[in-house]
Amino acid sequence: MRLSVQEAPFDLGAESQAFAAGAAGAGAVVTFTGIVRDNGGALSAMEIEHYAGMTEKAIAAIMDEAAGRWALVDALVIHRFGRLAGGEMIMMVATAAPHRADAFAAAEFLMDYLKSRAPFWKKELGPEGAAWVAAKDADEAALLRW
């Protein structure tokens, strides 16, 4: 399992390829990629702040939890911080498992927990100023299904 919290962009194709190639024994690989929405041109940039140290610990704990719940061969989380433009990739999750049901479920679990339990905060910058993205009740509610 690998996690990377980084400012630099990542190469989705290269990461996905390397992850799948390294997942010996897997019969299924699921990847998810989060992209900065440009809100129909109303967003000039997104700034992502994080709590260095806690971020890595929180994501590692979420990945350990996923590994305990599903038969995962491997998992990968890459999450960026800093200033991103609309259309840029914010993060990716990849899971590998013997069968697809585990790979899909673990990827969704990782995403649900990354949303509300990994210490990142997004700020949207647009022509009318800057605003912190508010957490949604639905994001918190999404954790209850696990």
Partner 1 sequence: MSVEVLYFAWVRERIGLPRERVQTDAATVADLIAELVAREDRYAMAFADLASLRVALDQELASFDAPLAGVREVAFFPPMTGG
**Tokens describing residue 126:** 């647009």
Can residue 133 be called a binding residue for partner 1 (CB under 8 A)? yes
> Which one-letter amino acid corresponds to residue 90?
I
Q: Residue 94 in contact with residue 18, Cβ under 8 Å?
A: no
Dihedral sign of CA atoms 113, 73, 102, 7 in order:
positive
Nearer to partner 1, 34 or 98 (CB): 34
Can residue 80 be called a binding residue for partner 1 (CB under 8 A)? no
Q: Residue 50 in contact with residue 120, Cβ under 8 Å?
A: yes
- Name the phi and psi angles at 95, rounded to 5: -130, 145
Return all residues near 44 (Cβ < 8 A) that are at least 6 apart: 85, 86, 125, 126, 127
Can residue 94 be called a binding residue for partner 1 (CB under 8 A)? no
Binding track over 34-73 against partner 1, x by CB under 8 A: x--------------x-x-xx--xx---------------
Can residue 143 be called a binding residue for partner 1 (CB under 8 A)? no
Can residue 105 be called a binding residue for partner 1 (CB under 8 A)? no
Q: Which of residues 1-30 bind partner 1 (CB under 8 A)?
A: none
Q: Which residues bind partner 1 (CB under 8 A)?
A: 34, 49, 51, 53-54, 57-58, 79, 90-91, 111, 114-123, 132-135, 140
